[in-house]
Amino acid sequence: VPCGNLEKPEEVQKLLKRLNGIAIGSALKIGFLKSLMRARYSVESLGHYGLAKTRYAHFTSPIRRYADLVVHRSLFEKWGAKITELMKVADHISSTERNSADAEKDSKAVKLYAYLEAQLASGKPVRYQALVIDIRNFGFFVDVTDLGMSGLAPLSLIEDDFYEFDPTRIQIMGRRNRRIIRLGDRVEVEVAKVDSVKKQVDFRLISEDGRATGGSGRGPSRKKEQRRYAKDQPAKSRPSSKRKASEPSRNKKRPKSGADPKPAAAPSKKKRPSSRRRRSAKKKPSGGQ
């Protein structure tokens, strides 16, 4: 995507407009905005990066934050504070504002994880529309707007097919169904795993026919997909599971090369006692005499 000097806010706005016109623009826009530094208060006239203003002061009425109070004092009360004192105030309120934003984010996350865990416990997880924002060899990351969060959709949870990662095209593709998932695609997912300690949520991809792709028992098992994939291959490319009738068994001994095969044995008959045994039986005295 062509872009100018991104240190200039007007060039950033032009870039964001260009991203709206390409397929992967939404994913790139999310990644770009996440890479920006947080705003901070300064005693210098740095302007406002997002608004593309060269002169800007944090000012609201009625007063909501301590930064507003500092501006009010400077404008109306002729405070006359030294620049070093204002620098300390700017650094302090920048730090406390970040802490406040993080605390707000964490408090919302606690409720959100509890809500998602209740979904899993009910056995009826809700399906969400998601945007693919990154693809790796172990899965792809999605941004779920309805939940206001991002998470991983591991390939290990996809059981409707075997998906292979293509690092050149930055995509994954199923071997059998040929389904392709690219950066910027819109997919349907549901929550598969929630770890409130690590603050991580794993999502499960929903197949194109509307079924869950594994883990919940509604999709086909991986063993079935292995057999189905082997069945779809050409006969020469896979070993036969059945032995032909004319093929000898491996367990049977084969005759040595050059030797005549032994004739089949005749049915066995009951053997008669030899003449020596008959004579010895006559010589024995009978019992009781």
Condensed to tens digits (0 to 9), the pLDDT of residues 206-233 reads 876 666 666 543 344 444 544 554 555 5
Condensed to tens digits (0 to 9), the pLDDT of residues 24-69 reads 778 888 887 777 778 888 888 888 777 778 888 877 777 778 888 8
Condensed to tens digits (0 to 9), the pLDDT of residues 147-188 reads 989 999 999 998 888 999 999 998 999 998 899 999 889 999
Neighbours of 207 (CB within 10 A): 20
Helix (H) / strand (E) containing 181: strand 180-182
Supply the pTM of this predicted model. Answer: 0.59
User: Does residue 102 or residue 235 have the better pLDDT?
Assistant: 102
pLDDT reading at 85 higher than 50: yes
- Structure confidence at residue 64 (pLDDT): 76
In the chain, the percentage of residues whose pLDDT exceeds 70 is 70
The C-alpha angle with vertex 140 and arms to 168 and 213, in degrees rounded to 5, equals 120
* DSSP-based three-state secondary structure for 202: strand
**Distance in Å from the first CA to the final CA of the chain:** 122
Condensed to tens digits (0 to 9), the pLDDT of residues 119-156 reads 999 988 899 999 999 999 999 999 998 998 999 999 99
Q: List, in sequence order, every residue forming a beta bridge with 164; answer none if it has no partner.
A: 173
Q: Residue 273's pLDDT band (boundaries 50, 70, 90)?
A: low
The C-alpha angle with vertex 23 and arms to 180 and 145, in degrees rounded to 5, equals 85
Radius of gyration of the chain (CA): 39
